[in-house]
Amino acid sequence: MKRVAALCLVLLAAGPLHAAATGSAELVDRIDPFIGTGGHGHTFPGPALPFGMVQLGPDTRLTGWDGCSGYHFSDTVVYGFSHTHLSGTGVSDYGDVLLMPVVGEPSLESGEPDRHGPGYASPFDKATEKAAAGYYAVRLSDGGIGVELTATPRTGLHRYVFPTGAPAHVIVDLEHRDRLLDADLRVVDDRTVEGLRRSSAWARDQVVHFRARFSRPFTATRIEAGDPAHPDRSAKAVLSFGDEGGELLVQVGISAVDADGARRNLEAEWAGFDFERTRERARDAWRRELAPFEVEGADAEQTTVLATALYHSFLAPNLFSDADGRYRGLDLAVHQAEGATSTPSSPCGTPTARPTPCSRWSSGSAPATSCAPCWPSTSRAAGCRCGSSPPTRPTA
């Protein structure tokens, strides 16, 4: 039996790790997603499952090297909550499909420092921020809106609590952060919207389709192009929900393939707006991921550091194939997977202390996963993003 102590991070960086199974309910509760979100850590505190496609979280920083993850602990203004984030990289990207709950007269301007006039961004009290494995919460100062987030592998689940008597709205912004190449927002019915975002940042041509289903019908919608230079796009929307206040939930599925992929991912992982059950399942996924590890000879603080380092190590590579096995290849065409149930995606060319797609550890009870390698040509073709469009499938 191998026991994992604080220095096991060296082993994680070196390659595959084998550890004995142990009860880890306490270890999963030691995870602190705020570790690494300050200084130059470039991590984010939002919820995700191990290697999940969706990595949901708050967006507090739009530019700069310390905004690579879209969040920095020193910030006190949040622009919204998007469904993809990088963790620990030295280059920024993602921030796809941003949602932001607001009250009063809505604005489709973000409120960025270099723009004039009001925006939908809100200050928040740092004391209201909470984060755990598979969970994030904060209270917005504007309107006193409560926000909670959790996730499934391919979807994000939001729970907002609005005050009574103030018109409630949700902003959908596909123009957020990266350079927008194309966008499309469509109303499916009075509870559902879907759309497409093509953007360029670290990945030069990234495609994300989404489908969002709300727990209450919206009473009005407003969709705009966003950038006046591209009036043919529909990149921003205001969805209005009346002034009765109370809870509003929305579950968002994403796909790199097409609108049907986002819809099927949402259907396959539909939570029935049961936030607490989804949150508990997310926590349990992390408990299982950490189950092979047993800590010995560490105090509480050291255990927290170790548990969180393991947590960060298992955020990537990300699941990239849809529930039906389809994925977008390096040629930007759609391919059908065979064999294993997931295709990995992860940044490449960036030194990290986490396993690469080809060195995921395995316990004695589970075989190691064989993943698509990151070739130099992949780096050149995909803007230094390995697996943004993987050419081969992993095998179990």
What is the distance between the alpha carbons of residues 34 and 371, in angstroms, rounded to a whole number? Answer: 29
> Quick one: how far is CA 303 from the chain centroid?
25
In this predicted structure, which of 27-41, 71-85, 271-285, 331-345 has the lowest mean pLDDT?
331-345
Half-sphere exposure of 311 (CA within 13 A, CB side): 35
Residue 63 is predicted with a pLDDT of: 73
Query: Domain spanning 28-283 has what CATH number?
Result: 2.70.98.10
What is the distance between the alpha carbons of residues 174 and 185, in angstroms, rounded to a whole number? Answer: 8
Give me the mean pLDDT over the 177-194 stretch. 86
Band (96; pLDDT cuts 50, 70, 90): confident
Given a cut of 70, is residue 382 above it in pLDDT?
A: no
Q: Tokens 């994925």 identify what position?
A: 327
Please, is 200 exposed, middle or buried when counting C-beta atoms within 10 Å of its C-beta (0-12, 13-18, 19+)?
Answer: middle
**Contact 139/179 with Cβ under 8 angstroms?**
no
**Contact 279/273 with Cβ under 8 angstroms?**
no
Give me the mean pLDDT over the 291-309 stretch. 93
The encoded tokens of residue 289 equal: 């991921």
Band (345; pLDDT cuts 50, 70, 90): low
Longest dimension (CA), the chain: 63
Domain locations along the chain: 28-283
Residue 170 is predicted with a pLDDT of: 98
Band (203; pLDDT cuts 50, 70, 90): low
**pLDDT higher at 213 or 225:** 213
Give me the mean pLDDT over the 293-307 stretch. 92
Give me the mean pLDDT over the 344-355 stretch. 38
Quote helix, strand, coil % in the chain, to nearest 5. Answer: 15, 30, 55
Question: For residue range 225-280, what is the model confidence (pLDDT) as tens digits?
Answer: 766 666 667 788 999 999 999 999 999 999 999 999 999 999 999 999 999 999 99
Give me the mean pLDDT over the 15-42 stretch. 72
Give me the mean pLDDT over the 138-153 stretch. 97
End-to-end CA distance of the chain: 25
Phi, psi (deg, nearest 5) at residue 247 = -80, 140
Tell me the helices (H) and strands (E) count for the chain, helix number first: 6, 20
Which run of H or E residues covers position 267?
helix 259-268
What is the distance between the alpha carbons of residues 289 and 293, in angstroms, rounded to a whole number? Answer: 9
Indicate whether this model's pTM tops 0.95: no
* Residue-averaged pLDDT of the chain: 78
Band (197; pLDDT cuts 50, 70, 90): confident
